[in-house]
Structure 1
Amino acid sequence: MRPGEELPPLEVPITRTLIVAGAIASRDYQDVHHDAELARAKGSPDIFMNILTTNGLVGRYITDHFGPTAILRKVAIRLGAPNHPGDTMVLTGTVERVEATPEGDTATVGVVGANGVGRHVTGTVTVTVPAGGAA
């Protein structure tokens, strides 16, 4: 891993099941994440993904790339355009900085998740790959 390295993109189909299951799994029972009629009444064209599901997908993107021994140290994200059913979010990332630590190499990775409307998520993830781990 080195600064400037680009991670391969990950396409995530945005389905109703993913949105609703993510909301339930994170105990986010806001109606806009499971009830299309109420979401429309509140001005949204449909239900939309919650931030905790997005956070989990960003974490998965990083650990899929750096391997099962990777340790997420910090995930800092900001939401933008909503993820609605029927769209696809494409996650991309770039290694911004790498530091050797006693635990292994620690990288800061800039992440963007874009969909058909625009940027759904932007942020940074700090990840440590223990010595002898994948990457």
Structure 2
Amino acid sequence: MKAGDELPPLTIPVTRTLIVAGALASRDYQDVHHDAEAAREKGSPDIFMNILTTNGLVGRYLTDHFGPRCTLRKVAIRLGAPNYPGDTMVLSGTVTEVTDDGTAVVRIVGANGIGHHVTGTVTVSLPEGAV
């Protein structure tokens, strides 16, 4: 692994169930994550995914790639275009830095039909011998 390496993309169908289940699992009871009528009253066309669900999906993307023994040391993400039901988010990553101590920095982008839903970087410690 070296700087510039690209991770294979991960395609995630954004379903109403995923949005609601993610909000419930993270104890985010804001109505815009489960009540379409309330979301519309607040100016959104539908319910939308919360940042904690997005954060979990980013973590899954990296642990699926690097393996369950990797450790996410720092997650610095920012939300952009909302993830609405019926869309698809494609996560992609590029390694920007690898150190001798087994740490990698990965630039993450999660794009949907509107634009970039999530962007940021994640610092990952890899198991010994993985670099």
TM-score class, shorter-chain normalisation, is over 0.9
Unaligned runs of 5+ in 2: none
For the residues of structure 2 that align with 1:72 and 1:100, how far apart are their CA atoms?
A: 17
Match of residue 16 from structure 2? 16
Shift of 1:132: 3.5
For the residues of structure 2 that align with 1:92 and 1:130, how far apart are their CA atoms?
A: 22
Shift of 1:61: 0.4
For the residues of structure 1 that align with 2:40 and 2:122, how far apart are their CA atoms?
A: 33
For 1:4-48, what per-residue CA distance to the aligned partner results, in whole angstroms no more than 9, with x for missing partners?
000000000000100000000000000000000000111100000
Task: Say if 2:118 is the partner of 1:128.
Answer: no
- RMSD between aligned alpha carbons? 0.9
SS at match of 2:10: strand
The number of residue pairs the alignment matches comes to 131
The partner residue of 1:110 within 107, 115, 129 is 107
Unaligned runs of 5+ in 1: none
Structure with the higher strand share, 1 or 2: 1
Question: One-letter code of the match for 2:76?
Answer: A
Question: One-letter code of the match for 1:116?
Answer: G
Question: One-letter code of the match for 1:17?
Answer: T
Match of residue 40 from structure 2? 40
For the residues of structure 1 that align with 2:39 and 2:54, how far apart are their CA atoms?
A: 19
For the residues of structure 2 that align with 1:116 and 1:130, how far apart are their CA atoms?
A: 35
Match of residue 70 from structure 1? 70
**Structure 1 runs of 4+ with >6 Å offset:** none
For the residues of structure 1 that align with 2:123 and 2:60, how far apart are their CA atoms?
A: 13
Identity over aligned pairs, percent: 76
TM-score (norm. length: structure 1): 0.95
Shift of 1:100: 1.4
